[in-house]
Structure 1
Amino acid sequence: MLENVDVNSIINILNEEGIVDNNVIATINKTGSTDGIVYLLSEHDEAKYVLKIDRPHQITLTEQFLGTYRHLRLFPKILYTDPAKAYIVYTYITGTTHFNRGSKIEWLTILVKELFNNYEKYVQTDKWGRLGSPIQSWREWNYRSLVDTRNDWGSLLSIEDYTRVESIFENISKNEDQEVRYLLHGDTGVHNFVFHDNLLVGVIDPSPMIGPMLYDFTYAFCSSPDDLNLETLMAAFNLLHHESIEESRLIEEVIFQLYCRIGICIKLHPHDLEDYLKAWEYWKSLQFLKIS
């Protein structure tokens, strides 16, 4: 069991390895979204490191992802991985998630330029989805997202709305054999973005995925209800190193992602629901204008 791990023994090992000093203090972090147990390690009253305790499989995935993108400044740097993969230690990024984040176009621009445009193609498999439990097709990933969200908040939708989303699912799932697979963060939402002085300074808690770059981009765009408009979307998309697609297709991708985001919102961020439902009406009307 993760709860039975002796943190003091881990700290002693880290001290012997020269990672931390004798005066380090471990404080459990209860605010993160990760499934494992996370401790902040502080020296002289300043948080400096993160100790993540998790199942070996999850530690391996985290190590693989952060190792692949170790050259990117937005990600924490790995300092030590337990040989048995029981825990991992990486640098702490000072700031807060969710709040004091500045305008969406500012942090989305940083994400595009410093993260998404540096994603690496993933050629080790012909599968899609979560790196730890891949599936056969991207269509299957989208279908699971559609069904799960329908179960979460389908009662708020009209039959017409659901039919619209189902049709969009069919459109965005076509020609997946032409999609390029990338190693994605997989959970690029404001809850995993670290902000300091209204500036994006870090991205934490990867859930590594194999998928199209557009997934993480639209996920980030829809991860907060502010500035969910076409102008912000296109300003950021025009910076993305992505092959050209029709604006109508990009709008469909956003509508599908927004639909899934509202399902998450109901479960985890109900206070944002009213703003998301307004955005939902906006994007529906926008799609109608583009196809009429």
Structure 2
Amino acid sequence: MQIEEIMLELREQGVIAPHINTWKALSGGTVSTVYALISDGEPTLVVKINDPKTVRFESSYLRAHEGNPLFARVVYIDADYRYFVYTYQPGETEYPRDRKAETLQSLVSEVINRSIPMVDSSDFGYADEPSASWKEFLMLRYQWAQVTIDTRLSSADHKLAQQLIYSTQDQALQYLLHGDCGVHNFLFQQGQLTGVIDPIPTIGEPLYDLIYAYCSSPDQLDTETIQQAVVRMEPKFTIGRDLPREVLIGLYYRIATCILHHPQDIEQYMDAWEYWKKRR
């Protein structure tokens, strides 16, 4: 759909005022198209266009977190799930690297500890393509990462990652997770975390979102940085979890992502991999 067509629909539905007739394109995900709607020279609403399944799950995730100031508020969802509209969140996308520990602690307190239990669900993993178990979801991610990493890690390292996944708990928690909870999806004002955007709704262990955030930047990948956040988590999210194992699994996935999108960071992630192997 064209944004002009969408804005006409939104006016007809009474979602936006007649004077809102200006928009600007924003950077979106790999398949989404995103526009900010401008009122009095300032962005006020966001229109996000994607495939219907993605629109349905992403808008549902945001609605489940309505009232949390770190998330946008859904204003309108197209009946056919072609797009949805939510409030614009101000903030800078530049991540303050000197505040990683504080960012992770805020994430735990304001997002992860408020994760919503999926009481009636039997699914795990990505909400739009669910797996039968948490371990199966982790193994699907492993298979993708193994091919991507290839010889950048040794066969022993690949086997280690696989064994770590096999050793995860069979009875996993089922909570609604952000799923793409990295610094690239955080907004900041004066160094403080003020927004979390672009979820890929996922069902599983809340610790996954924290590990994802921790591994999403190559700096401060030490035990102290993450421990300061882990101790703030609800005990039910961490009891029986082996932190070095969980971090190594997260780093394995991140090394693959790094090879594809951030090759300049690969050496720091390789150093972190060796660092965490020594802490098993």
Instruction: Report SS of the residue matched to 1:97.
Output: coil
- The answer as to whether partners of 2:112 and 2:206 remain within 8 angstroms in 1 is yes
- 2:106 counterpart residue number: 110
Q: Decide which moves more: 222-231 or 155-164.
A: 155-164
- The answer as to whether partners of 2:104 and 2:226 remain within 8 angstroms in 1 is no
- The answer as to whether partners of 1:101 and 1:199 remain within 8 angstroms in 2 is no
Instruction: Report SS of the residue matched to 2:220.
Output: coil
Query: Percent identical across equivalent pairs?
Result: 36
* Alpha-carbon offset, residue 68 of structure 1: 0.8
What is the CA deviation profile of residues 35-71 of structure 1, one whole-angstrom value per residue up to 9, with x for unaligned ones?
Answer: 2211111223322211001122221112211111112
* Separation of aligned partners in 1, 2:211 and 2:180: 11
- 2:215 counterpart residue number: 222
Instruction: Report SS of the residue matched to 1:164.
Output: helix
Shift of the 7–238 alpha-carbon distance from structure 1 to 2, 3 Å rule, reads same
Shift of the 101–38 alpha-carbon distance from structure 1 to 2, 3 Å rule, reads farther
- 2:249 counterpart residue number: 256
* Separation of aligned partners in 1, 2:4 and 2:70: 29
Letter matched to residue 176 of structure 1:
D
Which of 170, 187, 197 aligns to 1:176? It is: 170
* Separation of aligned partners in 2, 1:12 and 1:160: 58
* Separation of aligned partners in 2, 1:266 and 1:98: 21
- 2:272 counterpart residue number: 279
* Separation of aligned partners in 2, 1:88 and 1:101: 32
Report the TM-score, using the length of structure 1 for normalisation. 0.90
* Alpha-carbon offset, residue 206 of structure 1: 0.8
Establish whether residue 27 from structure 1 lines up as the match of residue 24 from structure 2.
Answer: yes
Letter matched to residue 258 of structure 1:
L
- The answer as to whether partners of 2:123 and 2:131 remain within 8 angstroms in 1 is yes
What is the CA deviation profile of residues 212-233 of structure 1, one whole-angstrom value per residue up to 9, with x for unaligned ones?
Answer: 1111111111111111110111
* Separation of aligned partners in 2, 1:9 and 1:169: 47
Establish whether residue 144 from structure 1 lines up as the match of residue 144 from structure 2.
Answer: no
* Separation of aligned partners in 2, 1:228 and 1:20: 47
Instruction: Report SS of the residue matched to 1:74.
Output: coil
- 1:185 counterpart residue number: 178
- The answer as to whether partners of 1:169 and 1:256 remain within 8 angstroms in 2 is yes
**Structure 2 stretches lacking a partner, 5+ long:** none
Letter matched to residue 23 of structure 2:
A
What is the CA deviation profile of residues 202-250 of structure 1, one whole-angstrom value per residue up to 9, with x for unaligned ones?
Answer: 0111111111111111111111111111011111000001335467x11
Shift of the 200–76 alpha-carbon distance from structure 1 to 2, 3 Å rule, reads same
- The answer as to whether partners of 1:54 and 1:87 remain within 8 angstroms in 2 is yes
What is the CA deviation profile of residues 178-222 of structure 1, one whole-angstrom value per residue up to 9, with x for unaligned ones?
Answer: x22001111101111111221111011111111111111111111
Report the TM-score, using the length of structure 2 for normalisation. 0.93
* Separation of aligned partners in 1, 2:88 and 2:233: 28
- 1:290 counterpart residue number: none
- 1:72 counterpart residue number: 68
Shift of the 169–33 alpha-carbon distance from structure 1 to 2, 3 Å rule, reads same
Instruction: Report SS of the residue matched to 2:235.
Output: coil
- The answer as to whether partners of 1:76 and 1:91 remain within 8 angstroms in 2 is yes
- 2:33 counterpart residue number: 37
- The answer as to whether partners of 1:101 and 1:195 remain within 8 angstroms in 2 is no
* Separation of aligned partners in 1, 2:2 and 2:97: 36
Which of 260, 266, 273 aligns to 2:259? It is: 266
Instruction: Report SS of the residue matched to 2:199.
Output: coil
* Separation of aligned partners in 1, 2:90 and 2:24: 15
* Separation of aligned partners in 2, 1:13 and 1:116: 36
* Separation of aligned partners in 2, 1:273 and 1:24: 44
* Alpha-carbon offset, residue 23 of structure 1: 4.1
Instruction: Report SS of the residue matched to 1:167.
Output: helix
Runs of 4+ in structure 1 off by over 6 angstroms are none
Instruction: Report SS of the residue matched to 2:34.
Output: strand
* Alpha-carbon offset, residue 98 of structure 1: 4.3
- The answer as to whether partners of 1:101 and 1:200 remain within 8 angstroms in 2 is no
